[in-house]
Structure 1
């Protein structure tokens, strides 16, 4: 385990009166530190509430007490003092984050927020308790150096845990992601989720994006999010994106979908529908279909939500069938001059989409309503009674729903 540097900067030693004042106020300072972390570090907003919050508050108070031990001693600390226990707890905290499958990002943020809050309160109390202004800068240095040491020890614990059980758990999570997307047998999925210590969410939403952009997203979405770049996944789903990563984001429906889309801004991501967690493969399949259709190329750098493109996806599911249908329904125009056929096709498309309302068709085509009437007369000459046939109208609607 990494050890802290035990000496205060420049030999700073807090006067006894200042130390006593700070010691009396430690519970209040610890409470404010925890409150600020809850408010500013979303990942800890729920875990820090209730009984867990009181436990954390006690740990913060002990950590601040260790700081006072250090700040009031010219010789620093020895392994038998309270400070040593504080650093052992920081090491264990890093281990716990790794065992939970979390990165150090949230804990590092908590340390930064805690340092800022603790410094503000401790500095005010120290000055009020009689700390000379000349010593205030060295006191600040000691506060932030102490927090840096705690953070470094937590990083060490996190890394050591990943080197052992953490890596084993990550392998189990990777295997679960592959199973979800390739062979989602419910019995196997339940067993693998339990083995990976992964609490199944209500739904999973697949996100397909470039591998280089995945890391930034993982830092801001639900910590249970699974990620895979496995070749078997891409092969099974027919993805042509060799460098793609698939994320499976928990409970990203309803308000959660809005938050997910916000987190994906500026990234070439495609978002599938939310599905019950054991059916995540269908969400990924649709995202891959949208990517293969090139929908993400229309607005580079912006996420594509497949829920906004269902018509395009349905019509593009079988391009050859759509082309055959279009050719068949437009066959009556084949013998006309190309320029005339093009105008009549545009008119026919607008006519079926606007349910034959002449004024709306004219506005859509930027022509006079009389022009629409004339063109529809031409179309009735070549199509005859078929324009009144519901089946023909359906085929025309599907074939012409999207412009070429």
Structure 2
């Protein structure tokens, strides 16, 4: 068949398809609505919007029959951006495109069957141009979708960061209470919560990559804020199982240490909890990457006024500074206190004789001028050692 005859037949097919544009666009929209559940239930794209989009897609594809040209992909890009803005998942959009492609192909076959004179060469020429146009349209749509989705992700992250910062700093507006901010962040408005502070590997880099999704997979809700040297977060822990899941996740994820505050119920206590988490992270090491701040009277007292407490600790323990075995004496007192003042238990933990523990305790009494047998003086010793443990 001559080239002229093929061109005439291509023009005939193009005219027939163009005549069916509105009808085919509506048919595609109807099929998409019927076959894809998302469009039926999500209510983010109206029926009229879907028909308009499908018709524009069909019109664009048929424009490819006019021959080699530079396609105006603006409608495709706008469709992609619109679907991303409406948060329609990309696989759903691509599924709609597949339905449209099938119906366009069926319409082409109907025209060929109705006109016996249309040759194989003409059919191949039309098919090639249609798929070329479809590829161009799909690529432009996908590019627009991903560009908008990326911007949305950035905007969403910025909004969450601002809300989380407001929650931590207490700088809430008159229109948003801490509980309303928690709700906007997807957090339960009732505790218990903990605050986590994790060291960043580099300035401004996330310490706990993907932590929100990892915890969400355990049915744990959280919100996070990235600071220059720390990544801080508030985590809802409704059960001991949730707490265990958090600690296990932090151990797997954190490479530079993470501190966890005691549990608290009132969002107004988040500032105090953050201070405890910051202190806890200072006690992490390669062997102990996650440290929980103990919810104890001594622990709280030790960190409430750090500058004042350090001076108090120096006043009580200063006499031990010159001792050659200072570290051993400090360790012995802490182990003895941890074992409720039981010398046999402390000796077993330290792998030494009970008399050795007694001797070391007497030396502490001599160097500090305080007796472990006098309640008030013992309390001073316990607080001083607690301050030294947490703040140095």
Using the size of structure 1 for normalisation, the TM-score is: 0.49
TM-score by length of 2: 0.50
Larger Rg: 2
